[in-house]
């Protein structure tokens, strides 16, 4: 038996319905992760970060420590680490800030690669299901009776229309995943930029004090 015959029999035997179930499962996982990431980003942020910059510029570190005490998230964690290291000078603080940002960014990046991968590949999974469905439609036409072949065009069109559902579902699954991936990446860039601004304010004050 030729390899193409074996692949043909495999596709016609399994059909395309399993692709729809796979996409449905991926869609549920995507929605759950989108909600989980939204809750995480909402909880782990410092909404009053802009109000702390004047305090840092004035060297009121004790007030800033009190403001971030018990807070979680990239901005609060990095700022707390920077203030704790302030007694060792600006160079040491810069190193601590860089290390703390790398360490505390990781929880924000969790699951984003899954959303990005799903957004890029869900349409291809749907297209794969469509191809299998089209193969199956032509296979049924090939083994049909003469009477059935007389209505072959309508039979094939019906099979193809059903197969195209897989492509539509794939695109439907991909769109929210891509939107969420881009939105959360922009959110993370904004948080990181604010964190760097807070850290630079600490370093700038310490350098002024050294002069």
Instruction: Report helix, strand or coil for 48.
Output: coil
Contact 11, 138 (CB under 8 A): no
- Are the beta carbons of 202 and 64 closer than 8 angstroms? no
DSSP calls for 121-167: HHHHHHHHHHHHHHHHHHHHHHTS-HHHHHTHHHHHHHHHHHHHHHH
d(CA 22, CA 20): 5
- Position 2 scores a pLDDT of 64
Secondary-structure breakdown of the chain: helix, strand, coil percentages, each rounded to the nearest 5: 90, 0, 10
Hey, what are 74's tokens?
Answer: 């990239």
Within a 10 A sphere around the Cβ of 110, how many other Cβ atoms? 12
- What tens digit of pLDDT does each residue of 20-66 get? 899 999 999 999 999 999 999 999 988 888 888 898 888 888 998 99
Q: Is the pTM of this model over 0.75?
A: yes
Q: pLDDT (tens digit, 9 = 90+) per residue, 109-121?
A: 999 999 999 999 9
Assign 95 a pLDDT band (cuts: 50, 70, 90). very high
Closest CA to 83 of 205, 209, 210: 205
**The two three-digit tokens of residue 92, written as one number:** 């040491």
pLDDT digits (tens, 9 = 90+) for 112-158: 999 999 999 999 999 988 888 887 777 766 665 444 555 556 666 76
pLDDT value of position 178: 97
Residue 77 has pLDDT above 80, yes or no: yes
């Amino acid at each position: 038996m030729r390899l193409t015959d074996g692949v043909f029999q495999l596709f016609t035997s399994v059909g395309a319905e399993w692709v729809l179930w796979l996409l449905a499962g991926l869609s549920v996982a995507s929605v759950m992760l989108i909600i989980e990431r939204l809750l995480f980003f909402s909880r782990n942020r410092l909404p009053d970060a802009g109000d702390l910059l004047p305090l840092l510029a004035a060297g009121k570190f004790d007030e800033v420590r009190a403001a971030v005490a018990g807070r979680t998230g990239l901005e609060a964690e990095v700022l707390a680490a920077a203030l704790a290291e302030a007694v060792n000078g600006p160079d040491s603080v810069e190193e601590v800030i860089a290390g703390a940002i790398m360490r505390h960014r990781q929880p924000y990046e969790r699951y984003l690669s899954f959303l990005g991968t799903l957004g890029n590949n869900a349409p291809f999974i749907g297209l794969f299901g469509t191809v299998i469905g089209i193969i199956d439609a032509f296979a049924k036409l090939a083994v049909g009776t003469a009477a059935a072949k007389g209505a072959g065009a309508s039979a094939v069109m019906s099979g193809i229309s059903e197969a195209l559902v897989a492509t539509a579902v794939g695109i439907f699954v991909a769109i929210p995943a891509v939107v969420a991936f881009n939105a959360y990446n922009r959110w993370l860039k904004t948080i990181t930029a604010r964190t760097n601004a807070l850290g630079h304010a600490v370093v700038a004050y310490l350098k002024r004090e050294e002069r």
